[in-house]
Every structure is written in C-alpha cells, then in structure tokens.
Chains A and B, each alone.
Chain A
Amino acid sequence: MLASDATAVARWRAQRLETAQADPDRRTELLRQRAQATRRDIVTMIGRAGLGHIGGDLSITDVLTVLYHHVLRIDPEHPDTPDRDRFILSKGHCAAAFYATLASAGYIPHAALATFMEPLSELSGHPNRTKVPGIETNTGPLGHGLPVAVGEAIAARLTGRDTRVFVALGDGEMQEGSNWEALMLAGHRRLANLVVIVDRNRLQQGARTEETNALDPLDDKLAAFGLEVRMVDGNDVAQLLEAFAPSTTGKPVGVIANTVKGKGVSFMEDRVEWHHKVPSPEQITLALEELA
C-alpha cells in the first residue's frame, strides 16, 4: 500500500485554498493549469510504460481536476475519513489519469507515477484500493462503478451523513446493462447525493459509439430514469464547476460531459486509434510541447 506524501498534500491544500478564494476567471485559469500538468504526467507515464489508454485519460482529466482540486470534501492524509465525499472511476482503464490526479493531491508520491505498470507496482493498469490510498473500489471490467456508488449513496442516507458520491463512466460503458439497473434504483430512491458523470467523448475502443450501439439521446434516457440531467462541455472547467453543484430537484444528478478523446494533443484528438495506442518518443515530445 502506498502512503500519502505530506509535502504534496500541503501544496494541494494551499492550492485549493487559493482556488477557492480566487475570482471566477482566476479560478478557471488555476484549474486549467493543473489539468494541463496532469496531462503532461499522463503522457509521460504512458510513454514510459509503453501501455495505457491515453485517449480516455486525456478526455476525463478536466473532470478529475475540478473534483479533486475544488469540489470533493476529502483529506488525502486520511483517505478513510467516514464523512469524506466519494469518487469512483468506473472507467478504470483510465487509471493513469486517476493516479496522476491522486499524486497531484498528495494521496501518493509523485515519484510513484514512474512505476506505472512496472512489475509489482502498486499502480496496476486498473485501480486497486488495496494498493493505492484514495481508491474506493477496484474497477476495470465495465459497468461496476455505478452500482457501488449507488450503494455508497444509500449508505450515506442510512447513516445520516451529508456525503456526496461521484462516479465517472465512459460513454461506451453505458452499453453495459448493469449501469441501467443501477440508474433505475438511483432514480427510484431519489438519491440526490449521487452525481453520475458520463465522459461523452463519443468514441469507444473500436469505433464511434453512435456507429456501434447508439447512446443518443443520452440526456432523454437519463432523464427517463429519474436523473436531473446537465449537459456541459466536459473539457471546460468553468462549466464543470457549475455541473457539480448539488441537485436542485431532489433527484440524482446526471452530468453528460461532452469531451474530446485525446484532448490537448492535436494529433490524438477525436481519433479512434488513440484509445490505447502508445505514442512514439517523437510523439511524446510533440505532445508535451503542446501541453506546455
């Protein structure tokens, strides 16, 4: 089990305070800078490992940054605090983005990122809560995170805690039936403390979602299951900050985060092959330049 990094946590606390106190434009700029730093970590990690799911990592980065650097009520030095907010990355194949974000908050040392997918590393290709602090549940097979999040949201209500539970899913992942079982229950129970985020980059491993097994109209579908739906630009931190505001209707919140797969690296953006293609050394240099 990795341990938290006190220096990094202190820096994260200072940054969060600065972000909280900044005016809206400055806040947006600070969060945007942190997201770019995380993107650079992702590209470096995947380049070093020679493995990873870079396209989806880069599309979800802004969501992760806004959550961990402004929204979530968390304490990286005490990751098991009972009244913490929960975050589950159901699209567990985007572990690189998750680990880089956890490192940016000090849950794990930044140096550990260099071990991503090395033999015996705690940082496996998919997140493991028994190895990495801050991870709520192990994901990897798709369609697992949302039911667990629903259980956590029910538990918060049963125990009288004002905990919020956030879960991020890939859009292709919405083809899994287990998610719709969980959405039915979330809507039926009016779990207003639950936020379901769909990383709507419109590409799955092999093709466009709409060419594979169409998801649209996803907003109508989520609304029909009893969610308060918010459709935003998921790579725009200002819009995400609004999207993560508490429910106004007493229903669970569904955030359709319209994103670009490979966001931030021109030659990867919206290209299906960058689902899990690994950049060459030259491409890594180019990508890091674009993300500078």
Chain B
Amino acid sequence: MTAITTGAGAAQYDNRLVFAEQLIELARVDDRIVAVCNDSVGSSNLGAFRQEFPDRLINVGIAEQDMVGVGAGLAASGLVPFVCGAAPFLTGRSLEQVEADVAYSQHPVILCGMSPGFAYGELGPTHHSVEDLSWLRPLPGLDIVVPADRRQTRQAVLSAVAAPRPTYIRVGRTKVPDVTVEGDELVRGRFNVARTGDDVTLIGTGTTVAVCLAAAEHLAATGVSARVLNAAYVAPLDVAAITAAAAQTGAIVTVEEANTAGGLGAAVAGVVVTLPRSSRVPMRLCGLTDFAPTGSADYLMQHFGLTPAAVASAAREALADA
C-alpha cells in the first residue's frame, strides 16, 4: 500500500469543490442530471452549475420538505436529481420526505448533505449536522455515503449517476487531506483499508479518517499496531470488515463527527455484540452525545475528543479492557 501523508503540512481540500466539478462534468454528457436546492446555490457551491445549466438548477427557495418531494418527482420521471442543501436542514426538516418519498417509494434521489458535522462551528447546534447518520441509518433502501477525500467524493458522484438509487451523500466542507490512493475504489457497502494493523482497529468516516490515521501514528510510536478503516459507506454497512476487525485485532474504536447514538459507533457496536464471545472485543465510541458549546469546527473537534491524541488514548483504554 502506498504511504498516505496526512500529517501537518499535508495539503487539505474542501470536498464541495470537487463535488461540483464532478457533477458539472457528468451533466455535460448526461442530460438526466439536475440539481435541486433550497436557496443554497452559494453554500452548495452550485453557481457554476447554474451558469452552465440554468434550466437544470431548480431552486425551490427555503422549503426543504418541498425540495425533497420535488426531487422524488423528478426521479420518478427518469431524471437523476442531486438534491443539495445544508445537511442539518436537508435531513432534519425533511426526514419524513426522505423516509416516505425517497426510501420507501424507492425513488432514486441523490440527497447531498452539504457542510455536515461541525462545519458551521460557531453558528451552533441548530446548524450542526451531527444527527444525520442516526436519523437516516434505520431507513431501509437508503445508501449513506461519507466520502473521505477528493477521490471518494468524485467516485460518490460517479456511482450515483452510473446506478441511481436512493442515496445520502455527506459532502464535507471542512478541509481534509487526501486519505485514499489509486486503487482505493469506493465500493458500495465496503470500508476501505486506510492502514493495516493487528492490535487495534480504528474506524473513521469522512473527516475523521485522517484523525484515525494520525492517531495510528501516535500508537505506532508506543509499539501499538493500529488498523484504520475508512467507513465510506455507513449503509449498507461492511459487516465483513467489522467482523474481521473483531476477530483479528484486540479492540475497536469508532470515530465520527456525529452523535454516537445511532451513528457509526452504534452501527459497528450492533455488529460486534452479535459476534461469538471469542471475538466480541471491547469498544470505544468517539463522537458526541450532547449539544455542542460555542466554538469553531476545529475547537469542537478537540472539545469532543476527535483528535489524534484523544483517539489514541481511547484505543489504549479499550485495549486495557481486552
């Protein structure tokens, strides 16, 4: 495996930019592609799309329930709608539409939750999208994709167009380094192995994959070999990768810029508790369980222990339980 540079000094990118670039590139050759937004042309970075395809950008105004319903109607008519809005409003305000009009109706709408997690930092908990994974994960027939970097963001858009199905893509705004290399393809329902290791497994998703990789460096310095898995798909869940991690390493730590109640941590724990006693390893769930205080996105990552040092410490604690 090619070494991945994620340490201090590694270049970092806003994945909304590659999302928009890829969408425009595909829209040039596929006129089924339309974008739907809620007065979020700027925040969803759809300005260039609107300029090139003015008729195919449907701005419904500040009306998220209508936005998702309209997306379902477009999909029902054979188009491939990318429904883009700030993640907290797209998922929270329209949850019943996502359930009934998209998942249950099986209309292939691509829901694009922009600026998830703590991206809106100081604007506070109303603007943080930290419950989206918990809300959407129980919905049958809805894929949840959390691209970790530029390559995976591009591939998420490509996959959505190649085989449209009800999908939620968490499109990060917080700048992150590239964590995948050529050959780390985004495969439906599969985690990517970001680093091999035998003692403990760290599972990150989106922004926290880089945090896990840095935590693995901390652990390596004290002789602990950490496997790092990139949960690019939270649904369908990679049960095989979780089962292997439990069988082959001594503990599992999940790390998410999200609430652990119902999110990635709960999903992984739900698999681990059903395993035979011999491979039912100790776990730690890194994330949040409370509304965030005031602070920047960076500050909040530290506040909730989503830093390399804190994750490494959680891994040592879990190993001590083993």
Residues of A in contact with B (beta carbons under 8 Å apart): 82, 128-130, 136-141, 143-144, 146-156, 158-159, 177-178, 181-182, 184-185
Give 6 CB contacts A-B under 8 Å: A147-B97, A151-B77, A153-B73, A155-B78, A159-B77, A178-B65
Q: Which of A143, A159, A182 contacts B79 (CB 8 A)?
A: A159
Q: Which residue of B lies closest to A88 (CB)?
A: B73
Residues of B within 8 A of A140 (CB): 100
List, in ascending order, chain A residues with CB within 8 A of B104's CB: 128, 138
**Once the chains are docked, how many angstroms separate the CA of A148 from the CA of B102?**
10
Cα A155 to Cα B77 in complex, Å, equals 6
Q: How many A-B residue pairs have CB under 8 A?
A: 103
The CA-CA distance from A158 to B76 in the complex, in Å, is: 13
Closest-CB distance, A110 to chain B (whole angstroms): 26
Q: When the two chains form their complex, are residues A144 and B100 in contact, meaning their CB atoms are under 8 A apart? A: yes
Take A150-B70, A153-B73 as given contacts and tell me if A158 and B56 are in contact as well, using a CB distance cutoff of 8 Å: yes
Say yes or no: A155 contacts B73, CB within 8 Å. yes
The proximity string for B residues 85-127 relative to A, scoring 1 for CB distances below 8 Å and 0 otherwise, is: 0000000000011001100111100000000000000000000
A178: chain B residues at CB < 8 Å are 65-66, 69, 97
Q: Flag whether B60 is at the interface (Cβ < 8 A).
A: yes
Contact A185 B100 (CB under 8 A): no
Given the known A-B contacts A129-B105, A137-B105, are A147 and B69 also in contact in the complex, defined by CB atoms under 8 Å? yes
Write out the residue numbers on chain B whose beta carbons fall within 8 Å of the beta carbon of A154.
Answer: 58, 70, 73-74
Residues of B within 8 A of A182 (CB): 63, 66, 69-70
Q: A138-B100, A181-B60 are in contact. Are A148 and B78 (CB under 8 A)?
A: no
B106 touching A130, Cβ below 8 Å? yes
Closest to A148 in B: B73
The answer to whether B78 and A82 touch across the interface, beta carbons within 8 angstroms, is yes
Report whether over half of chain A's contact residues are helix, strand or loop; otherwise say mixed. helix
Residue B23 CB within 8 A of the other chain? no
How long is the Cα–Cα vector from A141 to B69 in the complex, in angstroms?
A: 13
Determine if B77 and A152 form an interchain contact, defined as CB atoms under 8 angstroms apart.
yes
Highest count of chain A CB atoms <10 Å: which of B69, B75, B78: B69
The chain A residue sitting closest to B83, CB to CB, is A151
Distance in angstroms between the alpha carbons of A129 and B65 in the assembled complex: 20
Q: What are the residues of chain B within 8 A of A159 when measuring CB–CB?
A: 77-79
Q: In the assembled complex, how far is the CB of residue A30 from the closest CB belonging to chain B, in whole angstroms?
A: 31
Which chain B residue shows the least CB distance to A188? B61
Partner of B65, one of A128, A139, A147: A147
Q: B34 within 8 Å of A by Cβ? A: yes
Q: Is the Cβ of B66 less than 8 Å from the Cβ of A147?
A: yes
